[in-house]
Amino acid sequence: MVYIIYAGVKYNQIRHAIYCKKCMDTIESKDCHDFKSCTCGKVGIDGGTSYNRVIGDLSYMETRSIYMALVNNKKILLPLNIIEQHFYR
């Protein structure tokens, strides 16, 4: 499972998706080896929540992935700006 550790908390990925800025498609990979590409073919995604693979030019894509942690039985979602910092490094 893919995760991000932020402020000492482990956030597990529950959605692996990207948005194509050219054709305005949001594509999501739901399972391992579930390759998807956008309508214009500029970006692609694979891996579900098992592993992350994005294909294409990063300038055409924005992350739409979701990461969540359980803290004291409460669901906490990781803010998009933190996910983007992880996504673009």
If 0-12 CB within 10 Å is exposed, 13-18 middle and 19+ buried, where does residue 78 land? buried
Distances (CA, A) of 48 to 36, 62, 71, 73, 74: 10, 16, 24, 25, 24
**Could you list the residue range(s) of the whole structural domain that residue 20 is in?**
3-87
pLDDT of residue 21 exceeding 80, the answer is: yes
* Type of residue found at 5: I
Residue appearing with tokens 């098992």: 50
pLDDT of residue 36 exceeding 90, the answer is: yes
pLDDT of residue 89 exceeding 70, the answer is: no
Average pLDDT over residues 5-33: 95
Q: Report d(CA 34, CA 23) in Å as an integer.
A: 20
Query: Structurally, how many domains does the chain consist of?
Result: 1
